Every structure is written in structure tokens, then in C-alpha cells.
Amino acid sequence: MNDPVLSFDRKRFSDAAAMVALIEAENGYQMPHTVSGKAKRTVGARSREGNTHIGSLGEGTLHLILKHYLSADPENLEIPFGRRYIDVMLSGRAYEVQTRNFASLKGKLAEFLPKIPVTVVYPVMKEKKIGWVDPETGERSDMRKSPKKESVYSIFSELIYIKDYLQNENLSFAVFELSGEELRLLCGKRSADGKKGSVRIDRIPTELHGIETFASSRDFLRLLPPNDPFTVKNLCTYAKIKPELARKMLYCLAHAELVFSEKGEKREKYYYRSPQHKITEESQ
């Protein structure tokens, strides 16, 4: 997928982060440290962009930086299209930054895909530090490295929610591999220290390591082990992922008719690329 909008550029990433910081400063944005109303997973905050635009409400730093990475021109951001808004619109293509909850994309995909190509931009944190915020004082703890690491394969934990769209030729994906910081509010009720059941306030990307693009769901096949057949265990070893994520990945690819399985000895499933997608010696 040769898309200059999705080219890897560390300076562009730094410029986008600086732009978001400037927008926050100009609009007097302050990070909140209280949970709003009945919200369980969100935190009340004034918009960073100082308005009540539908696209700016509830957007975290990660989402905003990626939007400004895709386009530094505000004229390309939050473009009305039918009953909805497009995060970034360039050269007739919609770019939707989705940091989580792909289920919420269904409405947009149903409306956009019959008319325009859509690229879903998804960030993963290869390295992450976590800081805790006191809900009473707003005081932050020191950042500590999290043992959890994401990879390009992490997108399959979300793709299962839009599996019915994976065969659409107008749909493509870009995975931004990042390092960053995560701030969480010490408001959990399931432990004395407030960490279990805590609420994430924000994610702040600090470094861009790379961008993986997938022009269609067929391109996900390159993430599989090189030889057929293979098992879930083989995929886990090859990709360095847990069985639960491997099964989600194979479920998505099977739903898109990109792989199929056969039961072998001891009822273990063996997976194959669909015949039209097999890797031949001539194509390698």
C-alpha cells in the first residue's frame, strides 16, 4: 500500500505532537482528574480544541496526534459526510483513527464504504509506561514501565467486531507502532490501592517506531507462518502472541474466506490459506 499519507516520518510525528500541545495551551486545556457523571470508562474534560465539535469531544492525546500526523491542515479534519463526520479526508479517501472499540465503527463503515475508500488507523503500544493520578489532588506518580506489550497482531482483538466488512475492497488498515505513556485515575473499587477497576485518563504517544499498512484484508496473510498447514500453537510461536489472540486472528481470516481449517489427529485444527491465496514458489 503505497500511500504517502501513511509514510513513516519521525519529524512529522514530532510536529503533530507539538501541534496538539499548542492547541491545548491556546485553549487552556487541563487534564481532568475526576470521573464524569455515570461514565465508567471515560473522564470528564473540556475539549482540547476549545469547542463542542462532535469530533473533538472525548478525543485523547493519542487520537489527536494521529489525526494531525495524517494531516497538519485543519481543513482536512472532521469533514461532514452524510450524517457523520470523517476524521481526516484526503484525495477522496477517509482516514478513521480508532484507538479502541471497533464496534462503534460499524455505522460509519456501512455509510462510507459504498461511496469512498476508508483506511482505519489503529495504534499499538510496543512499549508503555503507566502513571497514576490521585483523584483528590490530581497529583501524579512516577511513570513505571508496564510489562504489557502490543504488536501489529493486536489489531485482531478489535477486527472481530467488524469482521463482516473485511472482504470489502474499499477497506484498508494502518497500524501505528508506538511507545507512550498511559495515565490512570486511582478510582478503582476492587482493590484498596484503587488500581483494580481504575479508569484510563489518557494515552500520550512519545515515539513512532513504524507503520504497517494493509491495502486489504488479504495483506494480513503475510502475518501468518510461511508454511501450510499450521496450528494455533505454531502461530503463537511464530507471532509471539497468546492463544486467545491467535484464535481471534484466525477467526477473522476464516470469516473473510482467507484461511480454512481441517481437523487432524486428536481433533487439533490445521489451518491453510485458501487456494486462491496460497504462496507459490514463483510468487516468493
Count Cα atoms within 13 angstroms, Cβ side, for 268: 9
* Range in 43-57, 123-137, 211-225 the model is least confident about: 43-57
Residues 177 and 143 in one domain: yes
The Cβ-side half-sphere exposure at 208, using a 13 Å CA radius, reads 23
Q: Are residues 209 and 234 in the same domain?
A: no
What length is written for the chain?
284
C-alpha cell at 266: 486428536
Tell me whether residue 44 is in a domain. Answer: yes
Check whether residue 120 and residue 251 sit in a common domain: no
Is pLDDT at 105 greater than 90 in this prediction?
yes
**E strands in the chain:** 77-81, 84-90, 93-97, 118-133, 144-145, 171-185, 199-214, 259-263, 269-273
* 3-class SS of residue 126: strand
What domain range is 136 assigned to? 4-217
User: For a pLDDT cut of 70, what percent of the chain falls above it?
Assistant: 84
If residue 66 lies in a helix (H) or strand (E), which one and from where to where? helix 61-70
Q: What is the CATH number of the domain that holds 258?
A: 1.10.10.10
Query: Do both 57 and 37 map to the same domain?
Result: yes
| 46, pLDDT greater than 60 | no
Helix (H) or strand (E) holding 68: helix 61-70
Q: Do 168 and 263 have their domain in common? A: no
| Residue 283 included in any domain | no
C-alpha 166/C-alpha 106 separation (Å) is 12
> Average pLDDT, whole number, for the chain?
86
Same domain, yes or no: 68 and 175: yes
Indicate if 183 and 228 belong to the same structural domain: no
195, 132 contact by CB (below 8 A): yes
- Encode 117-147: b = buried (16+ Cβ within 10 Å), e = exposed: bbbbbbbbbbbbbbbbbebeeeeeeeeeeee
| Same-domain check for residues 198 and 249 | no
Kindly state whether residues 173 and 270 are assigned to the same domain.
Answer: no
- The confidence score (pLDDT) of residue 272 equals 97
pLDDT at residue 57, as a whole number: 41
Same domain for 159 and 272, yes or no, is no
Q: Could you tell me if 102 and 95 are in contact, meaning their C-beta atoms sit under 8 angstroms apart?
A: no
Say if residue 75's pLDDT is above 90.
Answer: yes
pLDDT for the residue numbered 37? 47
pLDDT digits (tens, 9 = 90+) for 130-184: 988 887 777 788 889 999 999 999 999 999 999 999 999 999 999 999 999 998 8
Rounded Cα distance between 70 and 3, Å, is 11
pTM of the model: 0.86
227: cell is 508454511
CB distance 215 to 172 below 8 Å: yes
